Chains A and B, each alone.
Chain A
Amino acid sequence: MDSVIEVRHLTKRYKDVLALDDVGFDIQRDTIYGFLGRNGAGKTTAMSILTAQNLPTSGQVRVFGEDPYENAGVLSRMCFVRESQKYPDDATPRHALASARLFFPRWDQDLADDLVEEFQLPLKRTIKKLSRGQLSAVGVIIGLASRAEITFFDEPYLGLDAVARQIFYDRLLTDYAEHPRTVLLSSHLIDEVSNLIERVLVIDAGRIIMDESTEDARAGATNVVGDAAAVERALHGREVIHRESLGRVTSVTFLGRLDDGERAALAADGLDLAPVSLQQLIVRLTQQRTAGRDAFAPASQEGSLR
């Protein structure tokens, strides 16, 4: 696999807060990534540094093999759609799209026009007066129509209703199929995007805690429900990431794969096996880590970043 982004030992410190803590990962070409994690986990900081909108405290970032900082050749091949993008004061969506067209070499005006219609975006109203959803639509349209070789969407759907989000997902998939490119999609709506993404990159408290294919991630955890004693027998020392009990019934989520034989054995033991959705898995993993941290540092810094 060839990577378009390489990150090594990346650290970003804001005064007393460590937003990124010695992070390293690669991003493969023409792949849709889910870049997931809680608020303040470091997603926006990481994407800002990758697009040279922010500077690392230490560590190395390579995009298309080069340092992106002040590098027009590299930057022009990327597009970063921010959740809280600022626009010039009296600009309208028309101005914003006309500007984007000037700088993205692979810009597709027909696609932009289509999307404007689909999102019913009022082109002549000033951006200040747009609703939250319409504001998001401006970013989404720029992100899709730019056809940049690497596109970052940071929570692109704020204020978009279910219908508009579906338009976004559908357009992203169809356009990606015709024009493969690398996409990093940061989202809280993990279940909504889990079928779109080929790989998951999960960041928690400034560290990467998961970097694998969506399929492996999903298969990597199972939920087993049944009689407490039988459940304990079934675990075989596997790593438990969540446990709930109601009377004699216990529900346990554990990491690790089961082969068909093991599945059959558990079923014969009267245990119910249920798949773990990506969202559940990530919530469990980040909760577990937060709990672990809290044991040492009661004052959690979640949400205090940015």
Chain B
Amino acid sequence: MIDDGKPLFVQIAEQVEDSIVDGSLAEETQAPSTTELAAFHRINPATAAKGVNMLVDKGVLYKRRGIGMFVAAGARDLLLTERRRAFALRYVQPLLVEARRIGLGPDDVANLIRAGAEPATP
């Protein structure tokens, strides 16, 4: 579940973001606490705290004094915008690198993508 490529706290933050993006963690609801995250992922609480703080700095989470962390209003849109912007670099570029290696052009790739999406579209 935890891949070594990125710092652990970034991975923890991204997993919380995933839940916000897919809607399982709604805006203005309570987010998992540092302690819960640490226990669940079996990581040092300081690392979990760093991940949470990163989300606070980004405006995804905010702190309610004495209660805990909550998902900010507009957090989902914020994350969607960010992820769509990163999509090309994160997914398209590696795809094209591998395509070039095995002799597929951009059009071939586009066709493959369309074909792959077929069963899902009505």
Contact = CB atoms under 8 A, between A and B. Distances in A.
A50 to B, nearest CB: 21
A74 B64 CA distance: 39
A35 B46 CA distance: 18
B35 to A, nearest CB: 4
Nearest to A280: B4
A169 B47 contact: no
Interface string B77-119: 0000000000001000110010001000000000000000000
A170 B42 contact: yes
Interface stretch (A37-45, A262-270, A285-293): A262-270
Given A173-B38, A264-B93, A195 B8 contact: yes
A230 interface: no
Contacts of B42: 169-170, 173, 195-196
B45 interface: yes
Given A195-B47, A196-B44, A267-B93, A174 B39 contact: yes
A218 B7 contact: yes
A277 B4 contact: yes
Interface string A211-250: 0001100110000000000000000000000000000000
A76 interface: no
B12 to A, nearest CB: 10
Interface residues of A, number: 24
Residues of A contacting B: mostly: helix
A109 B44 CA distance: 25
B5 interface: yes
A198 interface: yes
A177 B101 contact: no
A267 B97 contact: yes
With most chain B CB atoms within 10 A of its CB, the pick from A178, A198, A219 is: A198
A176 B38 CA distance: 11
- Which of A177, A196, A270, A274 gathers most chain B CB within 10 Å? A177
Contacts of B38: 173, 177
Given A173-B38, A275-B5, A277-B4, A195 B43 contact: yes
B101 A198 contact: no
Contacts of A282: none
A215 B97 CA distance: 29
Contacts of B9: 215
Contact of A270 (B5, B45, B97): B97
Contact of B44 (A32, A170, A275): A32
Given A198-B46, A267-B94, A215 B39 contact: no
Interface of A: 31-32, 169-170, 173-174, 176-178, 195-198, 214-215, 218-219, 264, 267-268, 270, 274-275, 277
Interface of B: 2, 4-5, 7-9, 34-35, 38-39, 41-47, 50, 89, 93-94, 97, 101
5 contacts: A169-B42, A195-B41, A195-B47, A215-B50, A268-B97
